[in-house]
Amino acid sequence: EVQLVESGGGLVQPGGSLRLSCAASGFTFSLYWIHWVRQTPGKGLVWVSRINTDGSDTIYADSVKGRFTISRDNAKNTVYLQMNSLRAEDTAVYYCARGSSYSAYWGQGTLVTVSS
């Protein structure tokens, strides 16, 4: 069974940092792109970042470029999202999702709250 499990969310002050993890199982992890998508009640689903199969190619939404870094460890079947210089508007549920275009597999999400 394909599973994606996010962790690492929590409460952080503005300007702070947080690292999210997405642990995968049930499939050959190294063959798939992984995305991070976030969701806030007011703005719906917003794509954040994507990493290719070997980590050599990454792209970011303009809103997080220069502050967030996506990476992966294929030996550990895990993707990471390092989030620095966090802002109140980064508050959201963060999902990881598998796929090169649409995504049939999503994790359950991890909540990030940026507040003082």
By the criterion CB under 8 A, which residues form the site for another protein? 35, 37, 43-47, 50, 59, 61, 95, 101-104, 106-109
Cα three-residue angle 10-35-78, rounded to 5 degrees? 70
Q: Which is nearer to another protein, 14 or 59 (CB)?
A: 59
CB of residue 29 vs another protein: minimum separation in angstroms? 18
Q: Which is nearer to another protein, 3 or 30 (CB)?
A: 3
Select 44 or 75, whichever has its Cβ closest to another protein. Answer: 44
Q: How far apart, in whole angstroms, are the C-alpha atoms of residue 108 and residue 116?
A: 26
Measured from the CB of residue 74, what is the shortest distance to another protein in angstroms? 23
Q: Are 50 and 58 in contact (CB under 8 A)?
A: yes
Of 114, 104, 45, 52, which is closest to residue 79 (Cα–Cα)? Answer: 52
**Minimum gap (Å) between residue 72 Cβ and another protein:** 18
Angstrom distance (rounded) from CA 24 to CA 19 = 16
